[in-house]
Structure 1
């Protein structure tokens, strides 16, 4: 049932389309009468294997590095909206987290 569509599916996978649902919809429009299970089974050994992790942990010696973020938020405070600033720091070695909050006077709209 899938045989007439295998070359098309392989070509689309080489182009980078690895989504079974997308390819199923495409070959269904071309006359494929099977189900996604058969397509998924065919595509499985053709998928590229993951060689590296999606993220890699960046490790530094103690006291060497930290990441800092400064953010502004709007929050309702005593029935008025106020600016709330947050300082966030994560140490590179221990991953210890520090969060400091500061509320500014005056209301915002």
Structure 2
């Protein structure tokens, strides 16, 4: 380029410069018209495999679903063929702020010694937009971490007992102890000495099946941390992607998920 400008400055014609430097006339004209360092034209930005699904992802984020495992499962059902990392990178700025958990020393048990049980309530909308609720019974074997989940319409003692029977049958046995929080389904109150006043119907059930009832320290649900994490896992991983027609269908999907 420097030679072109110097020759042109000496009065040489474009044809002469072309002949002397063995370059095309268009090249000479371009350098004389726009002196300076030539810059390559910017490449068109390539589209991402995620682009067609971003509207759907934003819709799910607005509904409070920011678990990338769930989102990946859903958009793959819609045809997404990309990877997990690009989805995680896209979702990260939109994730809700989470408080860092406090550290707790974990209490371990022997095989068959303990199961931890909890209930969680989940909201859904009927086809006409009416809000409804179901209860999730979650039982986690403390040693094996095996989980049983069952959804029921009413959180009453009869349903609670039925879920235990179904869970024990599914997991293949009855643990020595079951750990609960201080829910009315298990313990009605405590007396002046701090001793539990049991729900007699549930106590009778436990005695008949031969497992001990173990209670968390009041206001310290972290005592049953394994099932607390289980309820949170159901809420964060299964429930956001749940699509069901009725309670039977919901429980069938929950068992497949487990």
Q: What TM-score results when the alignment is normalised by the length of structure 2? A: 0.21
- Structure with higher RCO (Cα < 8 A, 6+ apart): 1
- 1 or 2, which has the higher strand percentage? 1
* Higher Cα Rg, which structure: 2
